[in-house]
Amino acid sequence: MRLFTSIAALRCYLNLQKSAAPDVEVGLVPTMGALHAGHLSLIRRARQENAIAVVSIFVNPLQFGPTEDFQDYPRNLEQDRLLCERAGVDVIFAPAAGEMFGQAIDAGSQLAVAPIQAASLTQVVPPPTMTAVLCGKSRPGHFQGVATIVLKLLNIVQPTRAYFGQKDAQQLAIIRKLVADFNWPVGIVPCSIVREDSGLAMSSRNQYLTAEQKQQASVLYRALQQAEQAFKSGDRAAATALATVKAAAAQVPEVQIEYAELVDPDTLTRLETVETAGLLAVAARVGPARLIDNIILKNRRPIVAIDGPAGAGKSTVTRQAARALGLSYLDTGAMYRALTWRALATNTPISDAPAIAELVNSSYLEYNLDPASFMMKINGEDVTEAIRSLAVTARVSEIAAHLAVRQFMVKQQQQCGKLGGIVAEGRDIGTNVFPDAELKIFLTASVRERARRRQLELKDTGRGDIGLAQLEQDIALRDEKDSTRKIAPLRKADDAVEISTDGLSISEVIDRIIALYKERIGAPSASPIAGN
């Protein structure tokens, strides 16, 4: 593991890595140090999804107000370094304030807030509508400081992906907005809140609390849970959720609520009722600490996400599972196949990224989500059967590797799942497209078993002249491509249930999925919802 304190040294290191492997993927976890289990969960994911994992440790003076805890904020670089080394981090970037802000800070007073000369420092100003609510009301300038340092880090590291915790939901929404508005080529990866046994959200500021205060602070999560229960009972009104949170928290007078608000998770606009999703967020003072927490209230039918390698039977299982559960069927693989078919039909070079981006821009998909009569069209042409050809199968992974394709497909798929009520399959459906799916399944099978099944399919269509060994080789190569591709690699979600289909019939696999659905969600619906 390397530790860099200068921008020049870090850039030199990363440039050397990228010159040796131009497609190397870099994951960035921005932190202010005082690392805890929540940070480590982000680091583990960055380590899992990228060749190089970079952790920045910088207590940013720009995001602290004059009366806030900048001077007292916990700092322990040696302990952080040890934790990062154990977690497999490749690089720690721990600059001083003078390195990050140059002439805008007094070099003789690196830790003071006051020496930052705002007039001499270019800062990023997020949309006022996103900073005027939640923490922004009591922390003027905070998110301007956050946005400035995050975009500086993205520019310095130029990562493939950057990882942020859902606990700081307002920060996450603002960063997503900025990255989208500035067309920054980085994936912003939200990660679930990690909690202590009591339910208290992990935070570096928890170090300020005594054991008794930590127990008192755990009422925040219990209050959010009570509001969620009221929401699940059918009351979608913001007034009910907010009243429930405040009443529950009031039972612990040591916890002083600063705010409780219900907003749109993406735009942060206040909600009166939850139509699709709402961010229920709370901030409170407990002893010397200011703590925040939140929960997402989802007004939608369940989503079942089925991931897994090629040839594991995802399409067949997903279609039949959707029918059995009374849900719609989203075959995301068919979407990628349709675009592959069009590239081949128009003689568009699949390796030519600009040409594929242009193809995407001129393509439109139509699909029927009824599992009994799935249909796929692209630019008005029905390709439901044509997309299953060997030619399409051989090239679809290449199409899926293009960033433009990926962005197009994710928007399409997430729009399909906005109201829920679907069973969706793909090779990253639970990790990237629907990371908040109520049930995630990783459907797999051995390479030999998948080759055997593929050979039987080919024989049924009069194309049985391909040997089993060749099919095994092709499938193993496809697995390698899918698991190492730069865009949305195949991997099992941490909270997915793995089902190996070796030795199982389709009906036995469906039975297992139905049992999991009943266990996690409840009784299946009576009939599917069709959609386009």
The residues assigned a catalytic role are: 39
Q: H or E stretch including 124?
A: none
Q: Say how far apart CA 297 and CA 459 lie, in whole Å.
A: 49
Q: Say how far apart CA 348 and CA 346 lie, in whole Å.
A: 5
Specify the DSSP class assigned to residue 186: -
Q: Say how far apart CA 307 and CA 304 lie, in whole Å.
A: 10
* Structure tokens that stand for 347 in this block: 């003689």
Through-space distance between the first and last CA atoms of the chain, rounded to whole angstroms: 50
What Rg, from alpha-carbon coordinates, does the chain have?
25
In 3D, which of 344, 456, 341, 446 has the Cα closest to residue 387? 341
Q: H or E stretch including 375?
A: strand 375-378
Pairing of strands 375-378, 381-382: antiparallel
Q: Which stretches of 436-527 are assigned E, i.e. beta strand?
A: 439-444, 497-500
β-sheet with 365-368: strand ranges across: 365-368, 375-378, 381-382
Whether the CB-CB separation of 429 and 287 falls below 8 Å is answered with no
Whether the CB-CB separation of 380 and 374 falls below 8 Å is answered with no
Q: Say how far apart CA 167 and CA 171 lie, in whole Å.
A: 9
Q: Residue 273: beta bridge partners?
A: 237
Q: Phi and psi dihedrals of 161, rounded to 5? A: -140, 150
Q: Say how far apart CA 64 and CA 212 lie, in whole Å.
A: 27
Specify the DSSP class assigned to residue 429: I
Q: Say how far apart CA 513 and CA 521 lie, in whole Å.
A: 12
Whether the CB-CB separation of 468 and 455 falls below 8 Å is answered with yes
In 3D, which of 173, 154, 391, 382 has the Cα closest to residue 261? 173
